[in-house]
Chains A and B, each alone.
Chain A
Amino acid sequence: DAMVIQNPRYQVTQFGKPVTLSCSQTLNHNVMYWYQQKSSQAPKLLFHYYDKDFNNEADTPDNFQSRRPNTSFCFLDIRSPGLGDAAMYLCATSRDKLYFGPGTRLTVL
């Protein structure tokens, strides 16, 4: 059974057109994360939530926002995607280890 679900798996957007990626979890974990992974690179932490407590990484661009309306759901909003934002976006939850979702691959045209 899927524990961390990401929708959609593939997302295509146009340059500058806002896009939202979604993540849900069935594990009831307090902590949720968003990572960005570009081709042939390590995942890079964008932000994480401890319950509703939001923690932004210092180098996360302002273009990226997140919402967590409840324990189960978390959203990543990219307000004006640029070509450099094309990447795999990974959601994860945590208790004793990180449980990753399958990722959403974002293409920006």
Chain B
Amino acid sequence: AQKVTQAQTEISVVEKEDVTLDCVYETRDTTYYLFWYKQPPSGELVFLIRRNSFDEQNEISGRYSWNFQKSTSSFNFTITASQVVDSAVYFCALETSGSRLTFGEGTQLTVNP
């Protein structure tokens, strides 16, 4: 069975602080994909990143960076110099065989001015 755990239910930071959102996953599949999605108050799920299980290189995109560690089954997401517009719910998700995507419970990030 597949499972995604986001242990942090809510995080609150002050603007310009760095913040890391944790994601731990479980799967027996050797081929899988990991995702992060952002859900602002409007409700639409916005794709942020997709990473396959064979690519453990860390990735940076502007203020966003992702750390994939297969040894600890983690795929953490860091926002550098956070901004108020980063306030949203962030979901980590796991896709395994059969195109099924399993979401974590989400982390509500609030960035205060």
Q: Which residues of A contact B (CB under 8 A)?
A: 31, 33, 40-45, 48, 50, 55, 88, 90, 92, 94, 96-103, 105
Contact = CB atoms under 8 A, between A and B. Distances in A.
Interface stretch (B19-27, B77-85, B103-111): B103-111
A103 B103 contact: no
| Tier of interface size on chain B | 10 to 19
A99 B103 contact: no
A45 B43 contact: no
A98 B101 contact: yes
A103 B37 CA distance: 15
Contacts of A102: 42-44
A102 to B, nearest CB: 5
17 contacts: A40-B106, A42-B104, A44-B103, A45-B101, A48-B100, A50-B99, A55-B98, A88-B43, A90-B45, A92-B45, A98-B47, A99-B47, A100-B37, A100-B45, A100-B47, A103-B43, A103-B44
B32 interface: no
A99 to B, nearest CB: 7
A40 B9 CA distance: 10
B99 A94 contact: yes
Nearest to A105: B43
A36 to B, nearest CB: 12
A41 B44 contact: no
A44 to B, nearest CB: 8
Interface string B37-49: 1000011111100
Interface in B10-29: none
Contacts of B99: 31, 48, 50, 94
Contact of A100 (B44, B98, B100): B44
